[in-house]
Chains A and B, each alone.
Chain A
């Protein structure tokens, strides 16, 4: 648990640090940061010359599938995928079996994570019992058990009155209510974004409006209740515009975007590859550009993967029948480094911010900085590390990525959780 990470470029946006320094880790915590630190006896020295040392990355939106869907992913495999992808903490969604809508399930997840997990796991509790949108889950007990937010992710709470009550009831716990913004009537059977591509492919489309009407509704409800609303996987230009406008008015709304919505459009669906199917669907180039712009200007606060593992049989299927979702933990950081940071669209400090200090603040999580005394959760990046996306080498149990075969440079090369190396 004692390390000296020497001579790396320390990038700690929370403390305004971007300089070549050494980081001394003792007893699982950041002990000191400075130049030419002397390693006390028994401290392992890690040479980070030419590499970037940043706060451990945090993914606030993953599906670990345990309990109930262990054939897709487990806490053991999902957290190993996280570690391999440079993440030191993940927030796991509530759509397990049983649903994480009561304390017993939250306790179970945390207990399994302590035994099997290699990164920190923070459960998200359900908003409503069994995700059925009808009756509030026991939010107070869920918060007490350690849930860091509430979401019926995968489903939208269609009843505005229930959602309003959830926002109000959650106020004292100081955790965000997360919106999976998708009007199920407008989205209907839509298997992809509605537009010229869905028309050509003959696939049922869902309009951007299916997302936007719910973002609009939820912003209005956040204003009414004063709750912290967090928009999950924002994907349309209209939704981005509304969040930007609401923020300017002082509404407590934040948002996340996924790597696939930052990098792919509905053109990718032309192959009918079910690995391009997810909710919300891949949108148009115009939407993608708006989401990227919002990530750059901070309207989108953080990047989250929406890591959604599925078994091969659930994906190797007719497109309209295939399960929604793609894995993301092991590809997010390499893809963003190569496709957004390398061309200069997003600067490295901004990416690190959106992956560490920002999510930590939004979800009130420890971490997100390299401040002395903080948990020694650290990610080391090598901006020149070459990579190829090879799903057969994923630590995740799942292979459902739309990025298979891509190549690039820049990747996490070491992940440290509480002073312990979990990757490599």
Chain B
């Protein structure tokens, strides 16, 4: 099928065919990474603006490499040292960038809905690289690519998403995409970190780690987001890590072929014991590598199609 969207803002409204198209395209992009000269002319003459209002190393770098391997001109615009610091509104900044005729704006913002606001006002393609606690669609797509590579197929797999679901855009994007791809999703965490009405997203909710990881094909540990927590979500990091941290001992009672994933950056010793992050179960670095391929696919699909 042919990609028809102007923007990639969420996975919630993506159809299974669209997700498969991104994953298939990403797979073909992976070959480029293995070349000695990692460059193809596909997006020559196209301009990609990375508009990052929130600190990010891996996602920004990932989009930058993806753009550069496809020969696009990639411009990084981060909030520090830019007009955003001088109090210019998001919309004004966006209109200024639009005046420079980019083809894609990749935006990360602490406010949920900021990419949607930009997409409404910009003619170019907008990619959501993470907005508040809303969505992070390319993360979910790279997670699916990683799972599909390791497991062969997605349908029917059981996934446990564990930890701070309330503040996690990664969890939301994954829940939508995994449900669309026919996977069974259980989320688990202390009740204070499970958002209201979570079951209505089509997932099971549990409050016991052991129960959810026992039969899982995939365990996705979420980062405990200290920085977003104002108020009494958990009594202490110490207690959280004791109750909710994934240790090797816990992992050894799981399926032998279980995959352990984490969107990064890992709080070692909090949600993941250090030896788990480095264990044979962990596919965390595969996720990072697949991130570049998925973002190449997304940039390619968004610029290759004519926006309506």
Point out residues on A near B: beta carbons under 8 Å.
188-189, 194-196, 198-205, 207, 271-272, 313, 316-321
Contact = CB atoms under 8 A, between A and B. Distances in A.
B196 A188 contact: no
B216 to A, nearest CB: 22
A198 B167 CA distance: 12
A318 B196 contact: no
Among all A-B residue pairs, the 3 with the closest Cβ atoms = A202-B134, A272-B113, A196-B197
A202 B91 contact: no
B111 A319 contact: yes
A196 B196 contact: yes
Nearest to A192: B112
Contacts of A189: 230
Interface in B65-94: 89-91
B117 interface: yes
A204 B114 CA distance: 14
A202 B112 contact: yes
Nearest to B136: A202
Contacts of A205: 195-196
A199 B117 CA distance: 19
A203 B133 contact: yes
Given A203-B132, A317-B90, 12 more contacts: A189-B230, A196-B196, A200-B12, A202-B134, A203-B134, A204-B133, A272-B117, A313-B89, A318-B90, A318-B113, A320-B111, A321-B111
19 contacts: A188-B230, A188-B231, A194-B196, A195-B196, A199-B195, A199-B196, A199-B197, A199-B198, A199-B201, A200-B12, A202-B112, A202-B131, A202-B135, A203-B133, A205-B195, A272-B117, A319-B113, A319-B117, A320-B111
B197 A195 contact: yes
Interface residues of B, number: 26
Interface of B: 12, 89-91, 109, 111-114, 116-117, 131-135, 169, 172, 195-198, 200-201, 230-231
Contacts of B200: 196, 199
Contacts, number: 68
Contact of B112 (A194, A313, A320): A320
Interface centre among B111, B113, B132 (most CB of A within 10 A): B113
Contacts of A202: 112, 131-135, 169, 172
Contact of B89 (A201, A207, A317): A317
A155 B130 CA distance: 32
Nearest to B90: A318
B195 A203 contact: no
A198 B196 CA distance: 8
A205 B198 CA distance: 13
Contacts of A194: 196
Contacts of A198: 195-196
Given A316-B89, A317-B90, A201 B195 contact: no
Contacts of B89: 313, 316-317
A201 B111 contact: no
Contacts of A204: 133
A205 B166 CA distance: 11
A222 B113 CA distance: 41
A189 B233 CA distance: 14
Nearest to A313: B89
B172 A200 contact: yes
A202 B164 CA distance: 13
A298 to B, nearest CB: 32
Nearest to B133: A202
Contacts of B112: 201-203, 272, 319-320
B132 A320 contact: yes
Contact of A318 (B12, B109, B169): B109
Contacts of B131: 202
Contacts of B231: 188
Nearest to B116: A272
A319 B91 CA distance: 12
Contacts of B195: 198-199, 205
Contacts of B196: 194-196, 198-199, 205, 207
A46 B197 CA distance: 56
Nearest to A188: B231
A314 B82 CA distance: 21
A201 B132 CA distance: 9
Contacts of A188: 230-231
